[in-house]
Amino acid sequence: MRMILIAGGWSTERAVSLSGATGISAALTRLGHEVRFLDPAFDFAEIIPLAKEADFAFLNLHGSPGEDGLIQALLEEADCPYQGAGPKASFLALNKAATKAVYAKNGLRTPNWQLFAHIPGEKHTLKLPRPLFVKPNAGGSSVGMSRVDEGEDFEAALQKVYVLGEAALVESCVSGGCELTCAVLGEAALPPIMIRPRPGTVFFDYANKYDKDGAEEICPAPVDAALTAEVQAMSLAAHKALGIAGYSRSDFMIDAKGTPFILETNTLPGMTATSLLPRAAAVVGLDFDALVAELVRLGLETHPRKGGA
């Protein structure tokens, strides 16, 4: 098929997007497809014309544009199939506050939270106890994220987010347990992965995610069957509640009693050599090329060309 591979963009996660695109391009080529690279930061006006000529668009964008549904909307305007969530689900899932509102509506347990929008001259009242986390409301890869243990550090954490032009999602800390992540592929949840940040770090930050000596990631997660089943069920429930198609990955914190709390759901999970989705897929027998092929198959099934073959 004639493929366009859309990656790059202008979010704070541009480098991660481009890194993943290298491996995806190689996999698509090995699978026999003709691949043309397209970067919205430089080729935005070409998205619709090139998509109208293509058989499929493979997205590897993180943040906005891409995870916000904008590129998906343009592809639908061009009647071009693509993989993953549609515009509405993408928009909801990228916005952490909106995601948590959907979780609450569907009975999914999530840490207590507040949204702090930057309004000059106005001051919000913090209602959550410390420790807590402060993160960009529509960002990923832990860019701009801080853990706050002392009161005097809270304002600095907010400013770290505001300088990125974001609202801040403030979230209660879930302590005493571990961190898990669980992907959904098609209609099934993959084995959860346990994440152990490297010694000397307090959470799964950018370096833990992408450095070669980053966090230890264990798949399947060494937890009991009941917790595995609950995390998988919550991942599937979040996937369906948000209206996501094809694949997603949800992140969890487990408290000291073994109770899982869902944090967020990613509609375009990372696809670098160190990313979590390919690792979980490998455990169930899908190597990287097979995973890419399955994502293309699911995309053609979910977003078929309305004008015909």
The two structure tokens encoding residue 30 = 């090995």
Radius of gyration of the chain (CA): 19
Run of H or E residues at 285: none
So which residues are the catalytic ones?
A: 13, 141, 210, 249, 251, 264, 266, 270
* Cα(188)–Cα(27) distance, integer angstroms: 23
Give the residue ranges of DSSP H helices in the chain. 14-30, 40-43, 47-53, 70-77, 87-94, 96-105, 154-162, 206-210, 225-241, 276-283, 288-302
User: Per residue in 54-93, pLDDT tens?
Assistant: 999 999 999 889 899 999 999 999 999 999 999 999 999 9
- Of the ranges 118-122, 132-136, 169-173, 195-199, which one carries the lowest mean pLDDT score? 195-199
CATH 3.30.360.10 is held by the domain 92-110+175-289: no
Q: What number does CATH give the domain 2-83?
A: 3.40.50.20
Helix axes 276-283, 288-302, angle to 10 degrees: 100
- Of the ranges 42-46, 141-145, 264-268, which one carries the lowest mean pLDDT score? 141-145
The two structure tokens encoding residue 222 = 């060494």
* Cα(60)–Cα(206) distance, integer angstroms: 18
β-strand partners of 180: 194, 252
Helix axes 70-77, 87-94, angle to 10 degrees: 170
SS3 content of the chain, % helix, strand, coil (to 5): 35, 20, 40
Classify domain 113-172 at the CATH class level: alpha beta
Largest distance between two CA atoms of the chain: 60
Is residue 274 very low, low, confident or very high in pLDDT (cuts 50, 70, 90)? confident
Distant-in-sequence, close-in-space partners of 75: CB < 8 Å, separation ≥ 6: 47, 51, 57, 81, 82, 303
Q: In 3-state terms, what secondary structure has residue 120?
A: coil
Mean pLDDT, to the nearest integer, of 99-112? 98
- Rounded to the nearest angstrom, the gap between the alpha carbon of residue 70 and the centroid of all alpha carbons in its chain is 16
User: Per residue in 116-168, pLDDT tens?
Assistant: 999 888 888 999 999 999 999 986 556 789 999 987 799 999 999 999 888 99
Give the start-to-end residue ranges of the domains of the chain: 2-83, 92-110+175-289, 113-172
* Cα(79)–Cα(246) distance, integer angstroms: 18
CB 169 within 8 A of CB 136: yes
**What pTM was computed for the model?**
0.90
Is residue 205 very low, low, confident or very high in pLDDT (cuts 50, 70, 90)? very low
Q: In 3-state terms, what secondary structure has residue 95?
A: coil
pLDDT at 206: 47
* Cα(184)–Cα(197) distance, integer angstroms: 23
Check pLDDT > 90 for residue 12: no
Question: DSSP assignment, residue 128?
Answer: S
Query: Rounded to whole angstroms, what are the CA distances from 91 to 63, 86, 221?
Result: 10, 9, 30
Closest CA to 120 of 158, 153, 148: 158
pLDDT at 209: 47
Q: Phi/psi class of residue 9: alpha, beta or left (left: φ > 0; alpha: ψ in -120 to 50)? A: left
**Rounded percentage of the chain residues whose pLDDT exceeds 70:** 93
* Cα(123)–Cα(268) distance, integer angstroms: 34
Other C-beta atoms within 10 Å of 236: how many?
Answer: 17
CB 146 within 8 A of CB 133: yes
Q: In 3-state terms, what secondary structure has residue 191?
A: coil
- Of the ranges 130-134, 196-200, 250-254, which one carries the lowest mean pLDDT score? 196-200
Distant-in-sequence, close-in-space partners of 253: CB < 8 Å, separation ≥ 6: 111, 174, 177, 178, 179, 260, 261, 263
